[in-house]
Amino acid sequence: MSQLGERMIRRVVFTEAEIRERVAQLAREITHAYAASDPLLVLGLLKGSFIFMADLVRGIQLPLQLDFLVVASYGRQKTSSGDVRLLYDPPSSFEGRSVLLVEDIVDSGTTLRRLVPRLMARGPTSIEVCTLLHKRTTSVEPEPRWVGFDAPNEFLVGYGLDHAEDFRHLPYIASL
């Protein structure tokens, strides 16, 4: 990382070891919850969730399929614009399937509020949300069923989360 990048990091919020342990625990909980269901469709929100989702699905001990959505609401800013744009909508059939939506962070809740009704219209049996981080700054509907960590109200990067496409590669989560 450049010296500029190192200077921008204020503190490590969640270590690599803490993340690894919590993701394994979430995978066990999800395995248990979906043990009696048909193959699960795990739907990741790109780009932020890709590292979390990869680690999570490797720990889920069930048949599953993967797909992704690409949404944008931040751009180069540190706060959501409130304008949630769907840049890639997967062709996967949701009809009669259990869908697990994997999110990197729930902040304002705008993405979930706009996205979940759109996905429900495609006829899944259920949609549940698993998020690595939840800031709990506002009430969210639907409330994520699985939360990795309650997060401080700071701008966080690392483990897939970025600022203007930088910092995603960090194995820990830090605040800027």
- With both helix axes pointing from N to C terminus, report the angle between 50-59 and 16-33 in degrees, rounded to the nearest 10: 50
Q: How many C-beta atoms surround the C-beta of residue 103 within 10 A? A: 26
Active site residue 150: no
Q: Note the maximum CA span of the chain.
A: 50
Please give the Cα distance from 120 to 147 (Å, whole number).
Answer: 21
Instruction: Convert 116-150 to b/e letters by CB count within 10 Å (16 or more is b).
Output: beebeeeebeebbbbbbbbbeeeebeeebbbbbbe
Q: What is the rounded distance in angstroms from the CA atom of residue 89 to the CA atom of residue 176? A: 31
Catalytic residue among 89, 104, 107, 150: 107
How many angstroms separate the CA atoms of 108 and 34, rounded? 28
Q: What are phi and psi of 106, to 5 degrees?
A: -105, 120
How many CB atoms neighbour CB 159 within 10 A?
A: 27
Among all residues, which ones are annotated catalytic? 107
